[in-house]
């Protein structure tokens, strides 16, 4: 029993670290800087969605012993499987470039060296970790560092809490600093950044790596609810902080570095370093998760040997895919586009494809062949349909907006 | 007609199923099947097929022809149905991983590419 609570604590910490990444930092920061608290609602909606999805994918894998990617290929066939696969590879390669860039910018805030120079070394560092480290190291290492995210909350307190004049922007966003198109674009990007399918592929593969069974369902539920809620708190805190500090200064937060100003205002140089630490930890955790999620997805979909606890030669194709995927992200990153812009672009592409990546849930989660008596309750199904409709509507508006706004 | 002890499977149970060898290695998934019509009009399933051409054929028959033109059957392999000891979403095979042509790319990559990278083995 004691062991189970240790792993619950660990799972929660992991979820906090895994929630925030370049995508959520970019969308929260820009949302706050441009629209005050006007986008808080979509962060809350997305949080409820990701809690439901993480709980479902964990329950599915624990009971059926099948990962999400395996089930899609087996249940929907190869042709359908290609759709979520293609959307994953396209969106996540851009996102991975953003995460690598986020780590580089964090290190450049510490060292003063240009992030463009640090970028290839960061990629090499990530590759060495995924090449040799075990699953536990990858899951828990960056997560503990991610707790520094709580310093965002401390910053809000130090600045005297949320000022009264901001509260009406909760339901009446101000459009002084951005247009309606910008606003809707950020709604889509926030949804894509928060409900990242890579987290679902990673989480379900992790459940197999750690040999979850039907007895792990409590651990699964607590991780999903507590972990994701805490993670979302970090995201909301950054949004509020950007609204308090950046909006009056007319800073639109178009680079990750600019967001650091939000922490520098209350805490000075220490604040900048705290922001750099958060950026480093969250992007590091996310970069590892993204590389693995895509490699897991491909290896499981094609039925190859996979696993982070195996030596590379024992799962050769899996490890080769991992290496190639990192190289693609490096090529994207070397274009020199600011990671924040890459993160926003990736998040919008993800939101565009969300209906494809999420629709299998509705069928798989109601199949007693996989889940026995643990199939979805009616409430979860209704919530799931709402999420899909929302994802579809957002996808419908996000493409034209992407073109109108030129990507944020 | 059917012996009640027989298990009945649909093509859907076999297509896309995981191929697992007796030494516990995942070597690939069933991309296609080969069957034959016998003289008594019965259709008999003979082989499980895995490989890029078969997969391309699942998407589009023209695409299969295109793949065949470039790959010339080099990477597609068949496994006799008699090798399967247990059916289901995972097909358990009689032999070890090294006994099958399917999934040999794993070994090729390990021996020819990963050996040059430190920590690969």
- Write out pLDDT tens, residues A246-272: 988 888 878 888 899 999 999 999 999
Which residues 63-92 of A are in CB contact (within 8 Å) with B?
66, 70, 73-74, 77-79, 82
Do A103 and A287 form a contact (C-beta atoms < 8 A)?
yes
Q: Would you call B32 helix, strand, or coil by DSSP?
A: strand
Q: How far is B118 from chain A (nearest CA, A)?
A: 10
Residue A316 sits at the chain B interface (C-beta within 8 Å) = yes
Backbone phi, psi, residue A160, to 5°:
90, 25
User: Taking residues A312-336, what's their average pLDDT?
Assistant: 94
Q: Which residues of B touch A (CB under 8 A)?
A: 15-19, 25-29, 31, 55, 58-59, 89, 103, 105-107, 109-110, 113-115, 117, 119-121
Confidence at residue A132, expressed as pLDDT on a 0 to 100 scale: 84
Structural domain total, chain A: 1
* CB spacing of B31 vs A78 below 8 angstroms: yes
Distances (CA, A) of B47 to A299, B50, B79, B104: 23, 10, 5, 18
State what percent of residues in chain B have pLDDT above 70: 93
**By 3-state DSSP, what share of chain A in percent is helix, strand and coil, each rounded to 5?**
85, 0, 15
Closest CA to B58 of B33, B88, B92, B79: B33
**How much is the mean pLDDT over chain B?**
88
**In this structure, what CATH number is given to the domain that contains residue B89?**
2.30.30.240
Confidence at residue A133, expressed as pLDDT on a 0 to 100 scale: 83
Q: Which domain holds residue A147?
A: 2-405
**Stated length of chain A:** 408
Any idea what DSSP says for residue A376?
P
Work out how many CB contacts closer than 8 A connect A with B: 71
Residues A370, A376, A381, A383, Cα dihedral to 10°? -120
pLDDT in tens, B42-84: 888 899 999 999 999 999 889 989 998 998 888 889 999 999 9
The pair of three-digit structure tokens given for residue A367, joined into one six-digit string: 């199949």
In a domain, B1, yes or no: no
Q: Which domain holds residue B76?
A: 11-116
Question: Looking at beta carbons, which residues of chain A come within 8 Å of B115?
Answer: 313
Q: How far is B9 from chain A (nearest CA, A)?
A: 14
Any idea what DSSP says for residue A334?
T
In a domain, B22, yes or no: yes
Q: Is the pLDDT of residue A109 over 60?
A: yes
Distances (CA, A) of A294 to A103, A326, B6: 19, 10, 40
Question: Looking at beta carbons, which residues of chain A come within 8 Å of B58?
Answer: 77-79
Count of H helices and E strands in chain A?
17, 0
Question: Looking at beta carbons, which residues of chain B come within 8 Å of A296?
Answer: none
* CB spacing of B114 vs A74 below 8 angstroms: no
Any idea what DSSP says for residue A164?
G
Q: Is the pLDDT of residue B3 over 80?
A: no
B114 torsion bin: left (phi>0), alpha (psi -120 to 50), beta (else): alpha
Confidence at residue A349, expressed as pLDDT on a 0 to 100 scale: 87
Do A61 and A275 form a contact (C-beta atoms < 8 A)?
no
User: Taking residues A26-53, what's their average pLDDT?
Assistant: 93
Residue A319 sits at the chain B interface (C-beta within 8 Å) = yes
Question: Looking at beta carbons, which residues of chain A come within 8 Å of B105?
Answer: 316-317
CB-neighbour burial class of residue A117 (10 A; exposed 0-12, middle 13-18, buried 19+) = exposed
Residue A327 sits at the chain B interface (C-beta within 8 Å) = no
**In this structure, what CATH number is given to the domain that contains residue A335?**
1.20.1740.10
Please give the radius of gyration of chain B, using alpha carbons only, rounded to the nearest integer: 17
Q: Would you call A175 helix, strand, or coil by DSSP?
A: coil
Res. A60 pLDDT band, cuts 50 70 90: very high
Do A277 and A106 form a contact (C-beta atoms < 8 A)?
yes
Residue A302 sits at the chain B interface (C-beta within 8 Å) = yes
User: Taking residues A352-359, what's their average pLDDT?
Assistant: 88
Name the pTM for this structure: 0.92
**How much is the mean pLDDT over chain A?**
89
pLDDT in tens, A128-185: 999 988 887 777 766 677 778 889 999 999 999 999 888 888 888 877 777 888 888 8
Q: Would you call B96 helix, strand, or coil by DSSP?
A: coil
Res. A9 pLDDT band, cuts 50 70 90: low
Residue A320 sits at the chain B interface (C-beta within 8 Å) = yes
Confidence at residue A3, expressed as pLDDT on a 0 to 100 scale: 63
In a domain, B2, yes or no: no
User: Taking residues A195-206, what's their average pLDDT?
Assistant: 91
The pair of three-digit structure tokens given for residue A366, joined into one six-digit string: 């109601």
Kindly give the pairing relationship between strand B77-80 and strand B84-86: unpaired
Closest CA to A191 of A36, A53, A286: A53
Residue A304 sits at the chain B interface (C-beta within 8 Å) = yes
Nearest to B19 among A79, A303, A313 (CB): A303
Query: ipTM for the complex?
Result: 0.91
List the Cα angle B77/B79/B81 in 5-degree steps. 150
Sign of CA dihedral A73, A79, A80, A81: positive
Q: How far is B28 from chain A (nearest CA, A)?
A: 4
Any idea what DSSP says for residue B115?
G
Residue A176 sits at the chain B interface (C-beta within 8 Å) = no
Structural domain total, chain B: 1
The residue whose two tokens read 């999400």 is A68
The pair of three-digit structure tokens given for residue A42, joined into one six-digit string: 């979509």
Question: Looking at beta carbons, which residues of chain B come within 8 Å of A312?
Answer: 110, 114, 117, 119-121
List the Cα angle A328/A334/A340 in 5-degree steps. 95
Confidence at residue A395, expressed as pLDDT on a 0 to 100 scale: 75
Do A63 and A372 form a contact (C-beta atoms < 8 A)?
yes
In a domain, B83, yes or no: yes
Confidence at residue A16, expressed as pLDDT on a 0 to 100 scale: 65
CB-neighbour burial class of residue A43 (10 A; exposed 0-12, middle 13-18, buried 19+) = buried
Do B43 and B74 form a contact (C-beta atoms < 8 A)?
no
């Amino acid at each position: 029993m004691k062991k189970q609570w240790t792993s619950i604590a660990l799972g929660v910490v992991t979820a906090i670290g895994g929630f925030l990444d370049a995508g959520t930092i970019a969308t929260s920061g820009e949302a706050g800087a441009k629209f005050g608290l006007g986008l808080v609602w979509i962060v809350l909606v997305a949080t409820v969605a990701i809690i439901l999805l993480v709980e479902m994918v964990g329950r599915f894998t624990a009971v059926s012993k099948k990962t999400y990617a395996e089930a899609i290929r087996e249940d929907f066939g190869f042709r359908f499987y290609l759709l979520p696969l293609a959307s994953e590879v396209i969106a996540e390669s851009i996102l991975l470039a953003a995460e690598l860039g986020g780590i580089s910018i964090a290190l450049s805030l510490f060292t003063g060296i240009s992030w463009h120079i640090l970028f290839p070394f960061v990629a090499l560092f990530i590759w060495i970790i995924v090449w040799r480290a075990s699953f536990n190291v990858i899951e828990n290492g960056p997560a503990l560092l991610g707790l520094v995210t709580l310093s965002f909350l401390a910053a809000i307190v130090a600045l005297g809490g949320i000022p009264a004049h901001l509260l009406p922007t909760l339901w009446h966003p101000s459009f002084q600093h951005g247009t309606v198109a910008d606003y809707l674009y950020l709604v889509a990007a926030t949804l894509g950044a928060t409900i990242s399918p890579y987290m679902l592929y990673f989480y379900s593969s992790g459940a197999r790596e750690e040999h979850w069974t039907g007895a792990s369902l409590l651990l699964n539920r607590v991780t999903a609810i507590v972990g994701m809620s805490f993670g979302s708190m970090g995201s909301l805190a950054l949004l509020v902080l950007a609204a308090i500090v950046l909006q009056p200064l007319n800073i639109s937060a178009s680079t990750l570095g600019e967001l650091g100003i939000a922490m520098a205002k209350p805490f000075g140089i220490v604040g900048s370093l705290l922001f750099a630490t958060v950026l480093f930890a969250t992007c590091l955790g996310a970069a590892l998760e993204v590389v693995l999620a895509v490699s897991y997805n491909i290896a499981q979909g094609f039925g190859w040997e996979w696993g982070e606890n195996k030596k590379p030669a024992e799962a050769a194709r899996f490890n080769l895919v991992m290496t190639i995927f990192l190289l693609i992200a490096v090529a994207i990153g070397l274009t020199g586009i600011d990671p924040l812009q890459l993160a926003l672009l990736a998040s919008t592409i993800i939101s565009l494809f969300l209906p494809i990546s999420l629709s299998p849930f509705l069928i798989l989660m109601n199949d007693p062949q996989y889940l026995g008596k643990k199939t979805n309750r009616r409430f979860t199904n209704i919530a799931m349909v709402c999420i899909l409709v929302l994802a579809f509507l957002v996808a419908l508006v996000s493409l034209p907006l992407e073109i109108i706004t030129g990507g944020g | 007609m059917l012996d009640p002890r027989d298990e009945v499977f649909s093509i859907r149970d076999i297509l896309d199923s995981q191929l697992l060898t007796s030494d516990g290695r995942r070597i690939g998934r069933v991309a296609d099947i080969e069957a034959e019509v016998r003289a008594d009009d019965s259709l008999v399933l003979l082989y499980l097929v895995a490989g890029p051409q078969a997969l391309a054929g699942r998407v589009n028959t023209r695409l299969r022809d295109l793949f065949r033109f470039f790959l010339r059957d080099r990477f597609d392999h068949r496994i006799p149905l008699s090798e399967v000891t247990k059916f289901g979403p995972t097909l358990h095979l009689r032999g070890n991983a090294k006994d099958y042509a399917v999934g040999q790319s794993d070994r090729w990559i390990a021996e020819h590419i990963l050996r040059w990278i430190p920590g690969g083995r």
